[in-house]
């Protein structure tokens, strides 16, 4: 969820897309998954430039740290 200028919370519609890791998206990260390799972007939402894809294991660790 994101807050708008009016402080209303909105759902991130892309979370429901199969190429977005829901755990990372809930942690306010880009979470785009490169489907052929399973690598995931762990940069912040709406980051400038290209995604920084990391291994599924590293993405899992980032998701666990973010949810703690």
The gap from C-alpha 39 to its chain's centroid, in whole angstroms, comes to 12
| Residue 12: per-residue pLDDT | 59
Supply the pTM of this predicted model. 0.69
Q: What is the pLDDT of residue 10?
A: 58
Can you give the residue ranges of every domain in the chain? Answer: 15-67
Contact 38, 21 (CB under 8 A): no
- C-alpha 51/C-alpha 1 separation (Å) is 21
pLDDT digits (tens, 9 = 90+) for 17-59: 678 888 898 888 999 999 899 999 999 999 999 999 999 899 9
What pLDDT is attached to residue 64? Answer: 85
Phi/psi at 39 (nearest 5 deg)? -75, 145
Three-state SS for 33?
A: strand
């Amino acid at each position: 969820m994101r807050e708008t200028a009016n402080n209303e919370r909105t759902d991130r519609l892309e979370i429901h897309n199969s190429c977005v890791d829901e755990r990372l998206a809930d942690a306010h990260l880009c979470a785009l998954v490169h489907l052929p390799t399973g690598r995931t972007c762990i940069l912040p939402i709406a980051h400038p430039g290209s995604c920084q894809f990391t291994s599924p294991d590293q993405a899992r660790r980032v998701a666990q740290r973010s949810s703690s």
